[in-house]
Chains A and B, each alone.
Chain A
């Protein structure tokens, strides 16, 4: 057992209101420079939909993630030599147009326009070329299902649904959608890292954050193809790759990452988990159907004495072990089994977990109106409005049993709370659902609390980083005086 610590995350999708505050917080902090305008390290997508960059989940197109052939696991973009022969032109690189051409408006014209008959307008200008731009797409062009015939209908996760199932999803009165906020998953088996020819990307041992060394990056731009989530971006101005840094400068000073801190729906949880690094490769090779279970199996019980001892042996401090023991992520993912990784079949072992949304799932429809004939306040899992197959494609590598189990439990907690608060659901019915979901009353109370009324410190169990000690041990302190974040002494200017 090789125990390591990882800063891990849970997003509770039922709580996301799709307000994009998270995206803006991140953008204000990190990506409002030239070359990064188009980057949204945090973005929020409507599902069904094709997302950002468009069709990112289609690995036939972008060749992201890992490919399992027999017992060999290789990046899809290519084996080592094969990859290097594509270095002069990477055939799988998304282009600016797969994201969108960033723009601003000609605001000055509002002030400078000559006197005339009509109100002056502020025409859009490309932030790349500075020319007038006909805006044809944006990072959230399909927000709330707009343009669904172009976007939502092309969602690759719909592939396995029958034509009838698909049709019913898009009938006007029955339209259904939910949001998925996405950031870098800070994976255990990152493909962005594996395909980097310069070895510029690395995973931090202490907390598992995946970073790109701006000094070592040579702009070979393979990480952009390698990441199946399209969460590494190419800075077209500096010729370097950039990605979500999980706000490590904030974490190291005890603050939650900006997107977590500002989240209006308070859907985000962050905490340490302990995992067994020895089994990473073996886990990434498990067949699709058991992949999620295997990945969750990597996560160790921080309360187990043997795990604690092994963690100490690996130099993990007691304060970090304590943080792991009160981690909300451990509770959601392992203790309650409510959170699942997104697209585990990409085999990067993502460390961001999602509590799948319940609302669009349980509301069932008949003849175009809500079906109340089932005589139950909440519908049944089987008559879900969004087919379970679709949810399974997203959250459980296609295994419908796994997603069904989670949804049953979410439903049981909902019914339990409703019975308690309103009292309009029969006790036997509640008991039966709770038993079926394998959920105790005590657990249901805990889940309800952490879901609906968590305080700041319940959502974010940030371990103490002791930056001061670390730096003191390895570097001259005075050299770091006044440094924050990316510490560069020269302006970050593009090479000649």
Chain B
């Protein structure tokens, strides 16, 4: 019953809230979309927190996506033990890297008097959620070895079953509790996405790579 709610219904609720909420926030008040950088107020700790955190989380997220989109490729890659060890080792290293970054960010937010002035309750909620997700994820990686191998035979088909609108809970039913916590925390993160600073992720400025250096805007003519 709990499983049905958490893994059969909640994922849809989370995605609808995430997409709908982000669009609503964007349309209603784009002014609130910002990275809300606090580097101006405190730089040293931010460097040791933000850089490992971001490079780590981006690598790990991309890893998850590869598992979802290319399960056959991952299986083939892992069929040689050495490659499996390298993949697992790298993933765990990235996980520990981002954990260190995250802990530094949490400590910084809670102790630096200047940064505390620009910390909303939501910032702390978000950091707590991230911490739960990350710790559970790393726990899974340590205690249930070869995650990259079993991920593609459990999580991947489960996620695709969600996409096909016929959630198949048999894939998740037998997962260890730690993995379930990790997954549910991630779903909660998706649900709160539009109400946190995480919206900065949809603002990744890719266009900067090719736009012209100068921008001139005209009242009457269109943008030149």
Interface residues of A (CB under 8 A from B): 75, 80-81, 83-84, 88-91, 93-96, 128-131, 189-190, 193-194, 196-199, 201-206, 214-221, 224, 234, 236-240, 280, 315, 470, 473-474, 488, 490, 492-496
Contacts of B165 in A (CB 8 A): none
Please state if A496 and B220 are interface contacts (CB–CB under 8 Å). no
A213 to chain B, nearest CB (A): 9
CB pair B40 A221 closer than 8 Å: yes
Indicate whether B174 reaches chain A with its CB closer than 8 angstroms.
no
Determine, out of B47-55, B76-84, B183-191, the stretch whose residues face the partner at the interface: B47-55
Nearest-CB distance from B111 to chain A (Å)? 13
> Does B114 reach chain A (CB closer than 8 Å)?
yes
The minimal Cβ–Cβ distance linking B164 to chain A, given in whole angstroms, is 33
Q: Which residues of B contact A (CB under 8 A)?
A: 28-43, 46-47, 50-51, 53-55, 113-114, 116-118, 120, 122, 195-197, 199-200, 203, 205, 207-211, 213-221, 224
Q: A474–B219 contact, CB under 8 A?
A: yes
Which of chain B's residues have a CB closer than 8 A to the CB of A93? Answer: 39-40, 43
With known contacts A205-B218, A239-B34, A496-B122, A199–B39 Cβ distance under 8 A: no
CB distance from B102 to the nearest CB of A (A): 13
Option from A89, A201, A205, A496 in Cβ contact (under 8 Å) with B39: A89
CB–CB A221/B197 < 8 A: no
CB-nearest residue of chain B relative to A280? Answer: B214
Given A84, A89, A128, A280, which contacts B117 in the complex, CB threshold below 8 Å?
A128
Q: Determine whether the beta carbon of A474 is less than 8 Å from that of B220.
A: yes
Task: Say whether B220 contacts A88, CB under 8 Å.
Answer: no
Query: B95: shortest Cβ distance to chain A, in Å?
Result: 18
Q: Tell me whether B35 and A219 are in contact (CB under 8 A).
A: yes
Q: Are B36 and A203 touching (Cβ within 8 A)?
A: no
Q: Considering only CB atoms, which chain B residue lies closest to A91 in the complex? A: B47
Instruction: Give the CA-CA distance A88 to B205 in the complex, in Å.
Output: 13
A67 to chain B, nearest CB (A): 13
Knowing A199-B215, A239-B35, the reply to whether A80 touches B118 (Cβ < 8 A) is no
Q: How far is the CB of A184 from chain B (nearest CB, A)?
A: 16
Which of B35, B41, B203, B207 is the one whose CB lies under 8 Å from A128?
Answer: B41
Q: Is the beta-carbon distance between B221 and A236 smaller than 8 angstroms?
A: no
Given contacts A96-B114, A219-B34, A239-B35, 10 further A-B contacts (CB under 8 A): A80-B209, A88-B55, A89-B39, A96-B41, A197-B208, A202-B217, A216-B30, A490-B31, A494-B32, A494-B34
Q: How far does the Cβ of B156 sit from chain A's closest Cβ, in whole Å?
A: 29
Chain B contacts for A470, CB-based, 8 A: 219-220
Contact B217 A204 (CB under 8 A): yes
The answer to whether A205 touches B219 (Cβ under 8 A) is: yes
Set of chain B residues within 8 Å of A474, measured between Cβ atoms = 219-220
Given contacts A95-B40, A216-B30, A495-B34, whether A236 and B220 have CB atoms under 8 Å apart is: no
Q: Tell which of B29, B40, B122, B195 touches A96, judged by Cβ atoms closer than 8 Å.
A: B40
**Closest A residue, CB atoms, query B29:** A490
Q: Which 5 pairs show the lowest CB-CB distances between chains A and B?
A: A495-B32, A197-B205, A205-B218, A239-B34, A219-B34
Measured in the bound complex, the distance between the Cα atoms of B220 and A204 in whole Å is: 11
Q: B224: which of A95, A205, A214 is its contact (CB, 8 Å)? A: A205
Among the listed B33, B38, B114, B218, which residue makes an inter-chain contact with A129, where contact means beta carbons less than 8 Å apart?
A: B114
B224 touches A218 (CB 8 A): no
With A194-B213, A470-B220 as known contacts, state yes or no: A89 contacts B46, CB within 8 Å.
yes
Contact A315 B196 (CB under 8 A): no
Q: B59: shortest Cβ distance to chain A, in Å?
A: 13
